[in-house]
Amino acid sequence: MADERENKATKNDEKKGKNLNKESKENKKKEENRENKENKEIKRENRENKEKMEEEKIKKTERKKGIFSFFHKKDRYNLDIRKEREHDRRLVESFNYAIEGLMSALQNEKHMKFHTLSAILIVILAILTNASKVEILLVSISVAFVIITELINTAVEALVDLISPERHPLAKLAKDVAAGAVLVAAINAVCVGYLLFYDKLLDIFDTQNRLHIIAGRKGNISILILILVSILVIVIKSFYNKGTPLEGGMPSGHSAIAFATFGILIFMISDVRVLILVLFMAGLVAQSRVKAGIHSIKEVVAGGILGFLVAFAIMFIMIKFGILYN
b/e burial code for range 182-221 (CB count within 10 A of at least 16 → b): beebbeebeebbeebbeebeeeeeeeeeeeeebebebebb
Q: How far apart are CA 25 and CA 170, in angstroms?
A: 68
User: In 10 A of CB 103, how many CB atoms?
Assistant: 16
Number of neighbours of residue 143 by Cβ within 10 angstroms: 22
Q: Provide the residue count of the chain.
A: 326
Task: For residue 244, give the 3-state DSSP assignment.
Answer: strand
Q: How far apart are CA 208 and CA 292, in angstroms?
A: 60
86 assigned to active site: no
Identified catalytic residue from 4, 150, 157, 166: 150
Instruction: Identify which of 141, 126, 296 has the alpha carbon closest to the alpha carbon of residue 217.
Output: 126
Q: In the beta sheet, which residues pair with residue 325? A: 217
The amino acid present at 165, given as its one-letter code, is: P
CA–CA distance, 118 with 110 (Å, rounded to integer): 12
The Cα-based distances of 305 to 4, 262, 313 in angstroms read 119, 11, 12
For residues 100 and 246, the answer to whether their CB atoms sit within 8 Å is no
Both ends of the chain: CA-CA distance in Å?
138
| Catalytic center residues | 150
